Amino acid sequence: MKLIDKFCDFVEQTTIDDLPSDVVEFTKHLTLKTMAGMISGSRTESGYKMNNFIKNIDTSSEAGVIGSGFKSSIEYAILANGHYAHAAELEDDQFPSATSDITVTPVIIPVAECFNLSGNKIIEATALALEIMNRIGYFSLTPKGITDLPFYGIIGAAIATAKALDFDAKTIRSTIGIAIGRASGFIINFGTDAHYLESSLACRDGYLSAIFAKNGMTGLANNSDISDWLKSIHSNPNLPVSELVKDLGSKWFIKNIWIKKYPCCFLTHRQIDMMLDIKKKYNLTHDDVKHIELDVGPIDATCDRPTPIDIEDSRFSFQHILSGVLIEDEVDHRIFTEKKIIDPLYIKTRSKIKVNNHHDWPPEFNSGIARVVVTLKDGKQIIETSEQALGGPKRPLTQEQFIELYRKYTKDVIPEDIVKETCNILLDLENKSADEVATLIKMVTYI
């Protein structure tokens, strides 16, 4: 049997009753976290740009635009929600290929509203979409300059819609075939609005791929397989594609996802964790530090940006981010402002930070063992290394930590009582009816 048919049969036949309890719980945690991202992202500069665009172009009222106080067509609601989720810079990713929950949850929420889905169905569709997306997207395309998140993410968006609408395997096959024709995204756009648009368009186009298939359009010729496509885009006829279906249904690739704790590029999170640890352990201030050196791989070196030019650029700058760690009490959106970019203290602290690009490390996200060397003014050196950030599969977060992240990134947007109520609903999602889901969506739309 072809790989694509194994995947499609699995999506069609698997229900929430087949999902292990830890997968159900993790899916709810990812949904909670991405909801926080959509709410928070609606208040970013890039989020406002998308908000204004949709308000001026669309007057439909099918689905809520999260955090924005109005409804739009389902396509534009998906586009906005996907943009907000990424503009918040809070997406959670599988590594080294950065497939992400932000091309699934922003799709399934409007689909749930428009097609009257229960919480059970949301979990089912989300978990299966993430699982197959993570498997198909397991081999990273970063050496080609391609951003895996939107490129493979359109497959997650398509499968989430297909499962939500109970497609059979044949229609799911066409859905995926239509979707991959729109796969796109490039690393050169990191630190710009285009980076967020790439994933939001993947959300919208993945949904539309499913709707096209539902209406009889076909994709993936009968004599073709997803393995042919993968070998072609990787320029590798020997790509070990059989690994992608190994232990399907018993080993869950959804659990490969790392949780993002800070609203900036994921390639900086190991270094943030290490610097926060060093700062706390040695009671350091920015004035104690003579200079800092970072050892990173060739893709992570994308964030070697000593003089960021705007807010988005600053969220992809090792120098600006780690200056914020040293100067501020907390790593949050307040670090990333035009005022902070031109602040003399930030400029001075950024100049202390050097990035060493190890071109011999694997060309992938979060490559190698990250290393931070802090040299103090008294001559003392502090060295830390890290393979994974806190929140990676080897260092998983507790439910309490997920709740704290949800509160952290929503408390400035919605009242505390609504924070608690929506959090409780999402953590009990499998027991929520379609009407209760609709109430939840209304609560996070009209704020």
Name residue, tokens 């996907």: 82
| pTM score | 0.96
Same domain, 219 and 367: no
Across 327-358, b (16+ Cβ under 10 Å) vs e yields beeebbbebbeeebbeeeebbebbebbebebe
Domain end, chosen from 343, 359, 386, is at 386
Residue 150: closest CA among 195, 114, 84, 111: 195
Final residue in a domain of this structure, among 386, 403, 430: 386
Residues 234 and 165 in one domain: yes
Residues 281 and 378 in one domain: yes
Indicate if 281 and 237 belong to the same structural domain.
Answer: no
CATH number of 379's domain: 3.30.1330.120
Residue 166 has a pLDDT of: 99
Shared domain check, 273 and 256 = no
CATH number of the domain that 105 lies in?
A: 1.10.4100.10
Q: Are residues 256 and 301 located together in one domain of the fold? A: no
Q: How many distinct structural domains can be found in the chain?
A: 2
For residues 238 and 310, state if they share a domain: no
Closest among 39, 100, 92 to 65, alpha carbons compared = 39
Residue 282 sits in the same domain as residue 257: no
Both 174 and 156 in a single domain?
yes
Tell me the H-state helices in 215-358.
226-233, 269-282, 311-314, 318-327, 338-341, 344-350
Q: Looking at the structure, do residues 55 and 195 belong to the same domain, yes or no?
A: yes
pLDDT score at 58? 84
Residue 146, SS3?
strand
Domain boundary at 344, 365, 386, which? 386
- Residue 208: C-alpha distances to residues 74, 168, 174 (Å): 10, 17, 12
Amino acid at 322: L
Domain of residue 330: give its range: 266-386
Q: Write out the H or E segment, with its range, that includes residue 57.
A: helix 45-57
Q: How many CB atoms lie within 10 A of CB 43?
A: 18
Question: Are both 381 and 256 inside the same structural domain?
Answer: no
pLDDT of residue 132: 99
Give residue 59's pLDDT. Answer: 85
Confidence (pLDDT) at 128: 99
d(C-alpha 237, C-alpha 442), whole Å:
49
Note down pLDDT in tens along the chain; length 447 residues.
999 999 999 999 999 999 999 999 999 999 999 999 999 999 999 999 999 999 999 889 999 999 999 999 999 999 999 999 999 999 999 999 999 999 999 999 999 999 999 999 999 999 999 999 999 999 999 999 999 999 999 999 999 999 999 999 999 999 999 999 999 999 999 999 999 999 999 999 999 999 999 999 999 999 999 999 999 999 999 999 999 999 999 999 999 999 999 999 999 999 999 999 999 999 999 999 999 999 999 999 999 999 999 999 999 999 999 999 999 988 999 999 999 999 999 999 999 999 999 999 999 999 999 999 999 999 999 999 999 999 999 999 999 999 999 999 999 999 999 999 999 999 999 999 999 999 999 999 999
Checking DSSP bridges between strand 70-72 and strand 257-258, what pairing results, if any? Answer: unpaired
Residues 313 and 339 in one domain: yes
**DSSP-derived secondary structure letter, 330:** S
